[in-house]
Structure 1
């Protein structure tokens, strides 16, 4: 008994400080990880990151830090951790290769939610589609097109190309072009277009509607017409101007261009 008692005491003296230090490290580490996770979520909220992704990012950071902490504590006990690190690294590599497409969309979704190149309700053009953003998810973005179709686009496809946020500035210029006969008066055409623009309640009166001569061709005058409106009224203004300018051209006798050719006969 004395022999075993001496061995127990010697082992206790040898390992007690390590065990005590490991327990203290574990307790402090868990508290520190909790503080870091809460701080990260607070920072993300201050940056107005989407609320649905904040707990998800916080949990990922928390899990990763806890794995590192457990490996550190195991090493303090004298356990060989090299094999654990290699195993975790190999598993992570395998999962990453198997899910590389999904992880790419996930990373893109996180970037969209953090940097906000667009938000729900914006009219955007991306990945070859134009529509209103209905929902921003971690892996996909849901658009409602102008003809009321639902388009689900992987976030990786959106961030890999240009994104045009039509609603991004709050106000937008509606560019369109009209052609009239070359014999028409430029001042008369400008007057008719401005009357139509002034009659539209959605056209911003704080900004001038540009009516500019684009070019002169044989028998044709091309006008650029550029009214301003709120971003959400883009298509309403576009179609209003198209229809009502045609109506006023007919009412005011403004002729459309027709193919013409001058033929000189010599006897």
Structure 2
């Protein structure tokens, strides 16, 4: 196949002419892209600093800053291709169709996204809180957009979807700062009730981790066929709750044994109830 030098010259001339005619658009589009990316980074940095100075929640700050970053990037990309002379109406239609398809295929993820937004905005819990939700009890270690990371007492990390978390019951043990442990002790009917009550109150009052305000309470809760039920309710700070619970059980058992008070085979912890 023979190559015609004249045709090559004509194609080269046309290419150079097109390049010369198109170069202003190409240069201006590249400049817009370059300065636009720099401006977006600058704006994002300023927005983050403003939100941090106003003491916004760190999770909310990160989400809003990232959302603004990607929104500005999308706008910059549309401006860039428009400056190149590419028709944007069909491109926007394609993006819309893709967004609809992705939305339909990711309904569960969108539900988790919405749940994450609700958690961030209404704050039923925050980082470091001890919560019980979706059958999991532990400390909140991270609140992400789609899931919440909970660290259990045995050092296991559980990822709970935010959709289920925001739509279910959440028990926050840390929100009030203090927590009451509820115990029931069953003693025999031949027990001196006043003496038993004095022993239980002394145990609670002698424990420095048991709060004086609200004051601990000891009272006869009920009479069953085989035992008298004492309710023992000490208050403690959240950080001391576990120790107060175990120390109360241990000290009460030791004191009852020392005084010859027989505990009936009935002992139940009710620390998760508010009765």
TM over 0.5: yes
- Is 2:237 the counterpart of 1:230? yes
Tell me if structure 2 keeps the 8 A contact 1:202–1:237. yes
Question: How big is the shift at 1:238?
Answer: 1.0
Whole-angstrom CA distance in 2 between matches of 1:121 and 1:65: 33
Whole-angstrom CA distance in 2 between matches of 1:100 and 1:63: 21
Tell me if structure 2 keeps the 8 A contact 1:37–1:59. no
4+ long deviations beyond 6 Å: 34-37, 69-80
Question: How big is the shift at 1:97?
Answer: 2.1
Q: 1:72-129: CA deviations, max 9, x gaps?
A: 9999999865433322211111122233322332332343334332222221101111
Tell me if structure 1 keeps the 8 A contact 2:185–2:263. no
Tell me if structure 2 keeps the 8 A contact 1:145–1:151. yes
Q: Hey, what does 1:251 align to over in structure 2?
A: 258
- Is 2:135 the counterpart of 1:128? yes
Whole-angstrom CA distance in 2 between matches of 1:137 and 1:234: 28
Question: How big is the shift at 1:237?
Answer: 1.0
Structure 2, unmatched stretches of 5+, are 1-34, 267-275
Tell me if structure 2 keeps the 8 A contact 1:141–1:153. yes
Question: How big is the shift at 1:49?
Answer: 1.4
CA separation of 1:121 and 1:58: change in aligned 2, threshold 3 A: closer
Match of 1:184 among 179, 191, 207: 191
Whole-angstrom CA distance in 2 between matches of 1:155 and 1:45: 28
- Is 2:54 the counterpart of 1:49? no
Structure 1, unmatched stretches of 5+, are 1-26, 260-267
Q: 1:109-164: CA deviations, max 9, x gaps?
A: 34333433222222110111111222333332222222333322222232121111
SS in structure 2 opposite 1:48?
A: coil
CA separation of 1:149 and 1:65: change in aligned 2, threshold 3 A: closer
Counterpart mapping for 1:115-264 below 5 A = 115-257=122-264
SS in structure 2 opposite 1:204?
A: coil
Tell me if structure 1 keeps the 8 A contact 2:51–2:61. no
Deviates more, 1:250-259 or 1:155-164: 250-259
Whole-angstrom CA distance in 2 between matches of 1:163 and 1:149: 19
SS in structure 2 opposite 1:164?
A: strand
Match of 1:60 among 57, 67, 71: 67
Tell me if structure 2 keeps the 8 A contact 1:38–1:58. no
Question: How big is the shift at 1:250?
Answer: 0.9
Please give the TM-score of this superposition, normalised by the length of structure 2: 0.70
Whole-angstrom CA distance in 1 between matches of 2:52 and 2:119: 13
